Amino acid sequence: MTHGESNSTHTRPSQRKSIAASLAQECRISETTNSTPAKQQMKSNMAIANEDDITRRRDWLCREFQGHIIDMDFDDLMSNLCLTADFERFSDRFRGVFTAIALRAPSYMNRKLTQSNIEIEDTCSILKIDESISDVQLRCLDSFKGLESLGQSNEEALVAYFIEIMTMVRKARSSFTSEDLQSWSVSKYSISDHQNTPVSGGRHKIDCTFHYINHKKRTLSSVHIPIEAKSAARGDVVLDKDFGQMADYARAIWKCQPTRTFVPVIFLHGYRMRLLVFTRGKCFQVDLDNYCYHTLKPSLDDIVEVRMSITMLMFLLSLPPQKFGHFCDVSTRATTYLKLSHAPEFTGSSQSSALACAAVVSGEVDGAIKFDEFNRIKRPVNPRGRLVHIYRVLYQGEAAILKLSWIPTNRLPESAVYDTLQRSGVENTPEVFDMGILITDVFGYRVEYLIIRSCGISLVDYLKSQKISQSGQYDTIEQLTRQIISCLLQAWRVGILHRDISSGNVVVHNGRATVIDWGYAKLIDCDACDIDSLAAKWMFDKNEVMSNEDAHNSITGTPLFMSIPILVRSTKRSIVDDVESAFYVILDALAASQNVALRSNPVAMDFKDNRNLAFIRGCCLSASNMYMHTFGVRECNDKLRELLDALYRYLFVRDGNYIGGYLAIIPDYDRSVEEQELCNILNDTTHSNDKCIAGSSHVTPDERSLRRSARLKQTREGSNYVANTSSGTSDMHISAMPQPPSKRKRNR
């Protein structure tokens, strides 16, 4: 059976329930386990985004968008969305309707709505120009000569009038012919006032919101466009406090609506209306002109301007979600059933077979994926930049993970990495059920999806859940360590570097480790990866992508598990850096499995900033017989200690000298890869049934025994650094730092 096939037709209901129960169990385990340094750091990353101090959070949002706010014409927006022709047809067909509504618009002066005084000759002129206005339509709008919002002031007046505009539109549409109704179908959105009551699902008192009209509940999940009103006209500049408030609305909507491609926000400031389009990369400001008058006696030009403002607004509200803000239609329920498929029109020779489409379906039809907020894996949702939504789902009867990603078009698609891993047969990577590209480019971002088999829970959670002896845990950790390092080595050999090894990206199920989240991986061997074919299939510019990935070498990864050189912004990166990150993951898991109640993080896992952690690690690792204690590890058996010491020497010892200090001081210090030595470490095991790494030489039992004896002797003797212990405490004294081998020879 291939990866894409399934035996779902043979899956019994009881089996499906057990799979769903296992998903829920994984969710409970991950949420109830004790806090670790990694989880504490994740909480700190999410702290600002979820900050209770609204002012601080909105100031942070303003800083995030600083330099990324761009003014755009409405015509340019329509061109970007491929809607220019649609807007022209809409504007021409319903010009008379919006002219009639513009004739009823009030004036906003001194922060108060008053009846405008349009001269009768101007009215006659506009009626002659717009002959499409019918007597029926004018009679429908007569009742709005005395608007209820008149006489009100400040923001309440603006919101009240905005709602009345929608009422006038509904009145005018009652006079439409059947042909008109086909051109402008029934509005898909309803308007609600939330000035005094927060929108359900959040704490945001948005002045006004457009909701999807068929949605069962009015919550943040059903908000299509939020509206913010301010009594004073802001001119061409939006104040920071206003922008931060609207960016906060956009962030909240991104968080709870996984099918979003961008979030539009309407800003009413005085008599003017502006559209802010929050994309993953930038915020585009589009001026929608005056939607009411700023003088008591409007001219003909003023009337035309108000008509165009209302026309632009109504066109945006006539668009279905999949054309304005989403990559598919919106579910009417809290639980979404999404069907992802590679459409037949995308499989021809002129298009890439990776292109796919998404559709919301009503229920559990064949191939549909059910996902809801309960099964979402919580991750930080930043206002801009790369975004990932991850859900635990059932896919054709199998427990699976659905990953929806918004990735810059100049970065490597994660699906391309998984494609290479699957074709190359790299072990201990997730089994991929399906993957594809939903949108190739929306404001500089690509939307792709990935469905993989559920691979288990994090290494720390797995060790805590095992009901085995301490010695049994040591054996388990040793086996998992070999699997993780072997996976990284195999990926390296086919030209892929992970670059983001962390405790959250190593999961375990039934004793099998899996390295997940290859979204920040880099291709390092174009020939091994066949990058030309890969770029054609996944639709990226190989030269641009390779250049950008090189530029991100020094900043990619999870700081708590970064290698020492990357912490100090090294531009060079190799498998040694991935192995070093895996080394820290293992030590962190080993310490957590021993259930030590610490008042604070172990010194080697106490993150304050990147450079500080690099120097701390350089010191903590300096004593070969003491480094485990600095990571919070109390004890381990000889076999696991032997493996960890071998990795320690591979990472931090060259020519018999400790080089950790140089790694922390010299960012681009040349640390050789020594691939064969890593193979020897993995194959050096007493388990006769363990598989050797492909391409490495066979190691006899006698050679293994000699190597173990030599390593244990070297460990007892220590390194050039001395550790003195007394009265249960330890103080490290660093002797004179030896010069690097190359410099030492040169000085001779």
Rounded to whole angstroms, the Cα distance separating 358 from 373 reads 19
Q: 695 pLDDT exceeds 70?
A: no
Rounded to whole angstroms, the Cα distance separating 416 from 354 reads 10
Contacts of 546 (CB under 8 A, 6+ apart): 523, 526, 531
Packing angle, helices 638-652 and 675-683, rounded to 10: 180
* pLDDT at residue 480 in the model: 96
Q: 346 pLDDT exceeds 70?
A: no
Burial group, residue 85, by CB count within 10 angstroms (0-12, 13-18, 19+):
exposed
Rounded to whole angstroms, the Cα distance separating 313 from 291 reads 9
Sign of CA dihedral 295, 300, 301, 306: positive
- Quote helix, strand, coil % in the chain, to nearest 5: 45, 20, 35
Query: At the fourth CATH level, which superfamily is domain 11-49+351-746?
Result: Transferase(Phosphotransferase) domain 1 (1.10.510.10)
Contact 65, 384 (CB under 8 A): yes
* pLDDT at residue 437 in the model: 94
Domain extents for the chain?
A: 11-49+351-746, 54-323
Q: What is the pLDDT of residues 520-571, one digit of tens each?
A: 999 998 888 889 999 999 999 999 999 999 999 999 999 999 999 999 999 9
DSSP H or E stretch at residue 448: strand 445-453
Mean pLDDT along residues 652-662: 93
Query: Considering the entire predicted model, what is its pTM?
Result: 0.82
Q: 57 pLDDT exceeds 60?
A: yes
Using a pLDDT cut of 90, give the percent of the chain over it.
42
Using a pLDDT cut of 70, give the percent of the chain over it.
76
Least confident of 318-332, 422-436, 475-489, 554-568: 318-332
| Confidence class for position 104, pLDDT limits 50, 70, 90 | confident
Question: In the β-sheet with 336-341, what is the strand arrangement from edge to edge?
Answer: 357-361, 336-341, 369-371
Rounded to whole angstroms, the Cα distance separating 382 from 280 reads 9
Rounded to whole angstroms, the Cα distance separating 617 from 627 reads 9
Least confident of 32-36, 179-183, 587-591, 602-606: 32-36
> 565-593: string of b/e by CB count within 10 Å (b at 16+)?
bbbbebeebbbbbbbbbbbbbbbbbbbbb
- Residue with more model confidence, 744 or 29: 29
Q: 19 pLDDT exceeds 80?
A: no
